[in-house]
Chains A and B, each alone.
Chain A
Amino acid sequence: MSCIKKEGRSTYLYTRGGEYLSTILIILCLNFFLPRLMPGDPFSYLTGQNASSDLSTTLDSKSEAILRAYYGVGDPLWKQFCLYCQNLLHGNLGYAYYFKAPVAQLIAQRLPWSLFLVVTSILLASVIGITAGVFSAWKRGTVLDRGFWIIFLSLRSIPTFFLGTLLLLFLSFQAGIFPLFGAYSIEKAGSTWLVQGKDILWHLALPVLTLTLAEVTGKYLLTRSAMLDTLEEDYIIFARARGLAESQIMYRHALPNALLPVVTQIALRLGMAAAGMIYVETIFGYPGMGKLMQEALAVRDFSVLQGTFLITSLLVLASNFLLDLFYVYLDPRVEVR
């Protein structure tokens, strides 16, 4: 019995792994072909080279040489693609001529902050959303359920960047409770871990609050819907017939079963959180990948835009895959597609 199960698991993982690889390949192709499909000289898009009277954006010969070598300008297409993949395997994502640094380095600097922000927010949003969703499903049809539903949907009607702006305006500028920007105060750089830690959390508060509020409705709706599906299953009816308490049924029978599709969906939609991340970091000046994307957009630095897109996609895929692994070993009923 267990042998069959294990085989089923491996096959599942291999199949899923294959799917992920094909997704990665498609992303790579997208990244590679997009600039080359655009009208005009792809090299100018890649490097933003132009004669400007503001010397700061003129490509100096050093940067130009680096970029030409990196993109293999002049080589046939297939060779360029091989060069591209080769560079990626070495962690070379190109050179950001405006920021005057390798793209990989820029991303490496910013990524930890984004992860910190996004992971905390997703966790918080999931916990709150799931709890509320279960509760809503339990009290289906009542005023409480209806009230929750209206509140959460109304919350989602507020654009993330507007919500963040309001919080910044009222809680930071007017009330002075939270900092105005950034992930930490430079003055505290030399202080103790405790002081620095508190400072970082203090700076994290509003961004996390905004992103959590933006993400929570999705989790709530997913959970509520999954719970309602689960509650129609036979074993629930049976549990009720046995006389189990409602709360027991909710939390010990329905929720664990509803949780699988919910968490799968949450993982699947991690990519959507990237949007919230961009808005939140921009408004609060939080030095993460989102802010980097917005800065790169302002100067049309395509190397950075492509690099961040690639990394964000890879991260989402990686977390999906991890979650797959996690569940395969947890739940023996996982289906092999």
Chain B
Amino acid sequence: MSRLGLIGGTILLFFCLLAFFAPFLTPYSPNNFSGQPLEIPSTRHLLGTDGSGQDIFSQLIYGTRVSLLIGLTVSLFSTLFGGVVGLLSGFYGKWIDRLLMRFLDIFLTIPHLPLMLLLAAYFPPALVTTIFVLILFSWPLEAKLVRSQVLSLKKREYLEAARLAGAKDYYLMYRYLIPELTPLIVSQLVLRSSWAVLAESGLAFLGLGDPSIKSWGMILKQAISYEAIYFTPNWQWWLLPPGICITLLIFAFTFLGYALEEKFNPTLKEGV
């Protein structure tokens, strides 16, 4: 298991390096119309050019930045916000908790993507819209996970003891609960990033992405929008690479996340 986690971590590191060193690795800026439309791969354009003459290889490398940015931003905000809500709800219990549970039930039942589409349709297509919608739809699950953990932690005796000794709520939370929750939060950060990258590429594919920011999902969408994509060899270097990149990054986040989860919480049975 840890071996898989290591593989995942390595891939992730690889992508991070790609993102960081993007300007050095790419001959062109991704918005540069450096070639003729639909060129086949050559030394000047390693993966050829897209329909308007932009270098696909450059788009792919810079796309790493977008994917990582989205993955990390969404997971950070949703995990933190959801975490706080889950913590408070689990800690105080009573009607707050009941309300949250009710909300979670409803949230889980309602189909997400149709509602996401509806929401995103009202706002102009921009990176901020995508990030906002993704955070909106992921924090409830984070809250649920944290809440479950808090509930099981609440039963520990040292909490009762501390409370009897006169500890205030926030002290209990800060001193005892949050440290216990950290492993969960960390592994969730990684797993949630995996979801965010997948969800963003899906939204971009459906046409909700920012057309001037070439995320991998957007590159895929533009490739498929090219009517002759299945009738010319272009799919090999325009369609496959972004799809493979998305898959690899999600793969990396997933296995790293599960490895972390197992490491911190060996009683969990999700992992092997």
Contact = CB atoms under 8 A, between A and B. Distances in A.
State whether these chains interact.
yes
Interface of A: 19, 22-23, 26-27, 30, 34-35, 38, 45, 141, 145-146, 149-150, 153-154, 156-162, 165-166, 168-169, 173, 221, 224-225, 228-229, 268-272, 274-275, 278-279, 282, 293-294, 297-298, 300, 302, 305-306, 308-309, 312-313, 316-317, 320
Contact of B251 (A26, A27, A157, A173): A157
A154 B251 contact: yes
A177 to B, nearest CB: 14
A228 B239 CA distance: 40
A173 B230 contact: yes
A278 B272 contact: no
A286 B239 CA distance: 21
* Secondary structure of the B contact surface, majority rule: helix
A300 B120 CA distance: 10
Contacts of A272: 111-112
A239 to B, nearest CB: 20
Interface in B210-250: 217, 220, 224, 230-231, 235, 239, 243, 246-248, 250
Interface residues of B, number: 45
Contacts of B102: 19, 22
B35 interface: no
Nearest to B108: A268
A293 to B, nearest CB: 6
B130 interface: no
B202 A160 contact: yes
Contacts, number: 137
A298 B205 CA distance: 12
A306 B114 CA distance: 9
Interface of B: 4, 102, 105-106, 108-115, 117-119, 121-122, 194, 198, 201-202, 205-208, 217, 220, 224, 230-231, 235, 239, 243, 246-248, 250-251, 254-255, 258, 269-272
Contacts of B115: 30, 309
A35 B4 CA distance: 47
B247 A312 contact: no
B202 A161 contact: yes
Nearest to B194: A157
Contact of A225 (B113, B246, B258, B270): B270
Ordered nearest first, which 8 A-B pairs have the shortest CB separation?
A: A271-B111, A274-B111, A275-B113, A162-B243, A157-B251, A309-B114, A157-B250, A228-B269
A118 to B, nearest CB: 11
A45 B194 CA distance: 33
A309 B113 CA distance: 9
22 contacts: A22-B106, A23-B110, A27-B110, A145-B272, A154-B251, A157-B251, A157-B254, A159-B205, A159-B250, A161-B205, A162-B246, A169-B235, A173-B230, A224-B269, A268-B109, A271-B109, A274-B111, A297-B206, A298-B207, A305-B117, A309-B115, A317-B109
B140 to A, nearest CB: 13
A316 B110 contact: yes
B230 to A, nearest CB: 4
B118 A309 contact: yes
Given A271-B112, A275-B112, A26 B243 contact: no
Contact of B118 (A159, A279, A305): A305
A279 B205 contact: yes
B122 to A, nearest CB: 5
A279 B247 contact: no
Given A153-B255, A173-B230, A312 B114 contact: yes
Contacts of B270: 221, 225
